[in-house]
Amino acid sequence: MKNFSYIVLQTKTKTIKTMSILRFSDGEEFDTSVELQLMKRKDGWYVIGEGLLIPVVNLDKGRTMLKQIKEERKQKNK
């Protein structure tokens, strides 16, 4: 089983991420506080950033997922 930690500090008006490092038992470590992006790691491709870590099958699926997430967030913020 993989272990992870995520700490969030909340204020009255907004949420501030103070740490969002995922550490897995196999030695892999991910910082999800970065801007949304695609990342290639030893075990495959990931969409990572803004609190998300999503494994994807390949680069094309990752690009599709990244575009979908950005569109959904754009619609939500209207």
pLDDT (tens digit per residue) in 2-54: 454 444 444 445 555 555 888 888 888 899 988 999 999 988 999 999 889 99
77/73 Cα distance (integer angstroms): 6
pLDDT score at 15: 55
Q: pLDDT at residue 76 above 50? A: yes
- Provide the residue type at 45 as one letter: W
pLDDT score at 21: 87
- Mean pLDDT of the 51-76 span: 93
Concatenating the DSSP letter of every residue in the chain gives ------EEEE-SS-EEEEE-EEE-TTS-EEETTSPSEEEEETTEEEEEETTEEEEESSHHHHHHHHHHHHHHHHHHT-
